[in-house]
Amino acid sequence: MNMPGRIEERQVQQIIDIAGKENTFVQQSQIDDYTHDMADYSATPGLVVRPSSEREVAEIVRVANETGTPILPRGAGSSLTGAAVIEGGIIMDLRRMASVTRVDTVNWYVQVQPGISLEDLNKELKTHGFFFPPDPASSYICTVGGAIAEGSGGLRCVRYGTMKDWVLALRVVLPSGQVVKFGEALSKNRAGYDLVHLMVGSEGTLGIITEAWLKIIPIPSVRTKRFLVTFDNWETTGEVIKRLRSSRILPHLFEFLDRDNVLALNEKLEMHMDEAEATLLVDVEDSEVQTVEDIFRQCGAVKITLARDEEEADAFYQARSMAYLAVKATASGVQVEDVCLPIDKLADYLKMVKQVAAKYGLKIPVNGHAGDGNVHPLILYEKSDEKSRDSANLAYEEICRWAISMGGSVTGEHGVGLQKPKFMREQLEAHDGREALRIMKEIKKIFDPYNIMNPGKYVEIA
């Protein structure tokens, strides 16, 4: 008898025959690395397989299909929402498929397998004088496939947009095991509805990405300077952005850290940053340096530091990109918030977060991409303390609901996974999107009628 979702012995053997014994993990010690994501959502898969080709991916999907066994495609597992863990079923680790197939410097695209990290992709592109802009803080490990599936953002989004702005075409293994190409590796293509963008941000629920054609651009010849600027209050951040925008300056980077982040970086990673209320990291072009410095001053900057060389500029960047890990090390539990708001609501947003923290007696350090209204409150709690956990949840809900009421989104770049289906629903309902949710659920059924792709999450349970 077939048990839905169960992996039978004979199937394990079939998968071993396809991918090899050394790439098929069933023992606890082998699958330990796959039992959690970067925000500590945890679940134990029944089997982990590491295919080396699209053909293997398709064959494994067909084996899983026989018993309706759930499948979760996974890269580095750096998701923050539970999208990359699953209880039982098959995790398909795609990191062995990590080749750069083609760098086309005339048509400005790269053809690439899903398992390469964004950092390694950019190392390869650099040798051609090109780069791929989206840069989640996890770029050093997160894979192309994961970043597409999550529709990831990052530090350079403020200027270059998110993953959705950079994907031209995809090869996908559908839940049926059939292989399909969506889109074309062309700058313009109008042949049919846009299925490429349906895949971007689909969180592994519609199919498994086996190849991607991504836009690339030459490394900009324009020279930029990096500022580290401190303020004695965080409300000013919103004002700085507004003034930059009204001066028509679009920074290459506009990042925010509050005091708690800096304290964590100094304590946990032995950095030596000034412990100001607000720290901004801002990249602008050489020709804009003076204007921007004036704006900082007018807004009451305490200290304005222009990175003197690339090394110092890198150190500033590291501070921002390591902030999450530093803060995470200061408490046993953390809920990461990912609200995106109209930029002019940013000051009110930061104020609200601090009020919520005070109300529940929690620490909520905030960092993130202030330049596009997407900052991350990190709600800290004690895992072993039920009251603390409950408070964190209540604080989380309050922040999400406030954002929804202000016309914001509960997720700018982290996605939904297990963490936000409820709030996604509330957002859609509040913003006239009730029918949108119905359509999304129907779309899931078209792609995955037997619901084997990363089930029990996201749209399905919203």
> Smallest gap, in angstroms, from Cβ of residue 273 to a second copy?
27
- Paired tokens of 290: 């003076």
Contact stretch for a second copy (CB under 8 A) within 90-98, 173-181, 302-310, 349-357: 173-181
Question: Which residue among 61, 112, 195, 356 contacts a second copy (CB under 8 A)?
Answer: 195
Q: Which helix (H) or strand (E) covers residue 230, if one does? A: strand 224-231
Contacts of 355 (CB under 8 A, 6+ apart): none
> Distance of CA 203 to CAs 13, 74, 75, 207, 457, Å?
28, 10, 12, 9, 9
Question: Which residue among 94, 200, 265, 307 contacts a second copy (CB under 8 A)?
Answer: 200
Other C-beta atoms closer than 10 Å to the C-beta of 247 total: 12
> Smallest gap, in angstroms, from Cβ of residue 216 to a second copy?
12
Select from 345, 159, 378 the least CA-distant residue to 237. Answer: 345
Number of residues that bind a second copy (CB under 8 A): 89
By CB under 8 A, residue 1 contacts a second copy: no
Phi-psi region of 427 (alpha: psi -120 to 50; beta: other; left: phi over 0): alpha
Q: In whole angstroms, give the CA distance from residue 279 to residue 231.
A: 6
Question: Which residue among 164, 268, 363, 422 contacts a second copy (CB under 8 A)?
Answer: 164
CA-derived radius of gyration, the chain: 22
- Paired tokens of 164: 């959705």
Q: Which residue's entry shows tokens 């150190």? A: 315
CB-side neighbour CA atoms (13 Å) of 90: 33
> Smallest gap, in angstroms, from Cβ of residue 143 to a second copy?
18
Question: Which residue among 17, 165, 275, 286 contacts a second copy (CB under 8 A)?
Answer: 165
Q: In whole angstroms, give the CA distance from residue 416 to residue 369.
A: 18
> Smallest gap, in angstroms, from Cβ of residue 405 to a second copy?
13
Select from 282, 300, 298 the least CA-distant residue to 243. Answer: 298
**Per CB under 8 A, which of residues 238..277 are in contact with a second copy?**
242, 245-246, 248, 250
**Per CB under 8 A, which of residues 391..450 are in contact with a second copy?**
407-416, 420, 424, 427-428, 431-437, 439-440, 442-444, 446-447
> Smallest gap, in angstroms, from Cβ of residue 430 to a second copy?
10
Contact stretch for a second copy (CB under 8 A) within 200-208, 260-268, 296-304, 391-399: 200-208
Q: In whole angstroms, give the CA distance from residue 381 to residue 399.
A: 16
**Per CB under 8 A, which of residues 221..240 are in contact with a second copy?**
221
State which residue, 85 or 200, has the beta carbon closest to a second copy: 200
> Smallest gap, in angstroms, from Cβ of residue 245 to a second copy?
5
State which residue, 87 or 442, has the beta carbon closest to a second copy: 442
State which residue, 90 or 157, has the beta carbon closest to a second copy: 157
> Smallest gap, in angstroms, from Cβ of residue 222 to a second copy?
10
In whole angstroms, what separates CA 441 from the centre of its chain? 22
Contact stretch for a second copy (CB under 8 A) within 15-23, 42-50, 67-75, 160-168: 160-168
**Per CB under 8 A, which of residues 340..379 are in contact with a second copy?**
340-344, 369, 372-374
State which residue, 211 or 260, has the beta carbon closest to a second copy: 211
Question: Which residue among 66, 126, 218, 297 contacts a second copy (CB under 8 A)?
Answer: 218
> Smallest gap, in angstroms, from Cβ of residue 366 to a second copy?
16
| Long-range Cβ contacts of 380-386 (<8 Å, 24+ apart) | 380/327, 380/330, 380/331, 380/333, 380/334, 381/331, 381/332, 381/333, 381/334, 381/335, 382/331, 382/332, 382/333, 383/332, 383/333, 384/332
> Smallest gap, in angstroms, from Cβ of residue 374 to a second copy?
5
Select from 143, 68, 76, 131 the least CA-distant residue to 105. Answer: 131
**Per CB under 8 A, which of residues 137..156 are in contact with a second copy?**
150-151, 153
Question: Which residue among 1, 28, 29, 192 contacts a second copy (CB under 8 A)?
Answer: 192
- Paired tokens of 192: 């049919």
- Paired tokens of 432: 């006239």
**Per CB under 8 A, which of residues 2..31 are in contact with a second copy?**
none
State which residue, 109 or 324, has the beta carbon closest to a second copy: 109
Q: In whole angstroms, give the CA distance from residue 270 to residue 273.
A: 9
Question: Which residue among 197, 268, 401, 422 contacts a second copy (CB under 8 A)?
Answer: 197
**Per CB under 8 A, which of residues 114..133 are in contact with a second copy?**
129
> Smallest gap, in angstroms, from Cβ of residue 312 to a second copy?
27
